[in-house]
Amino acid sequence: MKLTIAAVGRMKSGPERELAERYLARLKKTGGAVALDYAGLVELPEGRGGTADERKRDEAARLAAAVGESAVVIALDERGKTLSSEEFASDLAGRRDAGARDLALLIGGPDGLADSLRQRADLTLSFGRMTLPHQLVRVVLAEQLYRAVTILSGHPYHRA
């Protein structure tokens, strides 16, 4: 199953970007062993002007176009479901085993995700009830994807 991250906004240079890239490189290197292939990151510019709802609608249309109609969608949102690392790994494996070919993980802009995208999502996932900066969400997502691969492959990185 191909994994794509689609995010509104660009990651600035710095230690957060370097850390996210390090985890994504590990994911790319090891994911194939468990049929979770990292296909890449799509960065979309933030919506400009208008109201927050207008920006979210614009960003939602661009995110949906970037991932296509057939992809399984996991939307990251603070109102979503919280999963343990093991549960997240199991969820990914279950979708892979059910025959999903493409899975897209969506990160909204500063205003969040439009209701239409959350409703379209096959899973709305939260990393907790706290609001996290965009750059940290990317780091946490990259690390959890890598951790999921290590859990599924029995690698000792994950110690629970």
Annotated binding site for S-adenosyl-L-methionine: 76, 108, 127-132
* CB neighbourhood size of 118 (10 A): 18
Determine contact, residues 79/24, Cβ cutoff 8 Å.
no
Distance of alpha carbon 34 from alpha carbon 61, whole angstroms:
32
Quickly list H helices, 68-133: 85-97, 115-120
b/e code 94-114 from CB counts within 10 Å (16+ = b): ebbeeebeebbbbbbbebbbb
b/e code 25-52 from CB counts within 10 Å (16+ = b): ebbbebbeebebebeebbebeebeeeee
Distance of alpha carbon 131 from alpha carbon 40, whole angstroms:
25
Distance of alpha carbon 24 from alpha carbon 19, whole angstroms:
9
